[in-house]
Structure 1
Amino acid sequence: MLAVVLMAVTALGLIAGQLWTAREAHAMAMREHAAWIADSVAEAMREPSAADAAIRQWSSRATALLPHGEAAVTERGGVSTASVTWTALRDMPRADDVIDKPESCGGADVPTGASCVALAFAK
């Protein structure tokens, strides 16, 4: 009987570990998509004549790849920032539970429950 209980607890631990790994992999894939979009926006901004069309195009791509995704470019003090925001996963740790909490998205206000990737660039 003790062996059965020990096996059950071990199996539950393995299942929990696999679920955590899958959840983290999905969150990392979303961060990777956001970084890719931010980099593409920064590259597209090199051609000033096509900047507005590029932001619209990559914002629609962000919406397609990320939940409620949005791409934007802000300028402050001669430095431009390409940022991508999206709705965070519901079952991820809250911001207060994260030990090494990153700074906000390039100094921008990010709504509660949202994640962000920012990439600074110079024109």
Structure 2
Amino acid sequence: MSRHPRSPHSRCRESRWVGSSLIEVMLAVALIAVTALGLIAGQLWTAREARAMSLREHAAWIADSVAEAMCAPTSGDSATRQWSARAAKLLPHGEASVSDIAGVSAARVTWASLRDLPHSDDVIDKPAPCGGVDLPVGSSCVVLAFAQ
């Protein structure tokens, strides 16, 4: 026999707290899962932006090199073809060209944008057309004006 008899109400008080630790564990797991998904999404966004920045950097480097080559007296179309070939190797569907608009020369490098980036209609602050030329959807460009 027990020294302290159990009252019929003590059983109700004990059953009230039985599932509370399970609910706490489920909430903690859910919170950790949401946090982990947020961190993964942030890492994916960072990697995508780093890749896009790398493409823009290569395009700016090629445009600068085209402008430098065009300032040399002996080079011309051959330098443009050479840098366009390099653009095709370094950039997806890359192409380098030189145009003359109202007496100002411009080195233009175009390439296919990454598929994961937002469409141009989804961007709030749309950039101006690429040196006065409308690009096809899914393309990006860098234009560098120079004087010959």
**Higher gyration radius (CA):** 2
Shift of 1:112: 1.1
Partner of 1:3: 28
Amino acid at match of 1:70: E
Residue 141 of structure 2 is aligned to residue 116 of structure 1: yes
Partner of 2:128: 103
Shift of 1:50: 1.2
Shift of 1:49: 2.4
Partner of 2:105: 80
Looking at structure 2, the residues matched to 101 and 109 of structure 1 have their Cα atoms a distance apart, in angstroms, of 13
Shift of 1:109: 2.0
Task: Quote the RMSD (CA, aligned, Å).
Answer: 0.8
Q: Percent of aligned positions with the same letter in both sequences?
A: 72
Residue 88 of structure 2 is aligned to residue 63 of structure 1: yes
Where structure 1 has 5 or more consecutive residues not aligned to the other structure, the ranges are none
Where structure 2 has 5 or more consecutive residues not aligned to the other structure, the ranges are 1-25
| Number of residues of Structure 1 aligned to a counterpart in Structure 2 | 123
Q: Secondary structure at the match of 1:115?
A: strand
Partner of 1:18: 43
Amino acid at match of 2:131: G
User: More relative contact order in 1 or in 2 (CA 8 Å, sep 6+)?
Assistant: 1
1:54-112 C-alpha deviation (Å, 9 max, x unpaired): 10110000000000000000001110010000011111111111122111111112111
Query: What TM-score, normalized by structure 2, do the two folds share?
Result: 0.81
Among candidates 43, 52, 76, match of residue 27 of structure 1: 52
Looking at structure 1, the residues matched to 29 and 73 of structure 2 have their Cα atoms a distance apart, in angstroms, of 67
Shift of 1:15: 0.1
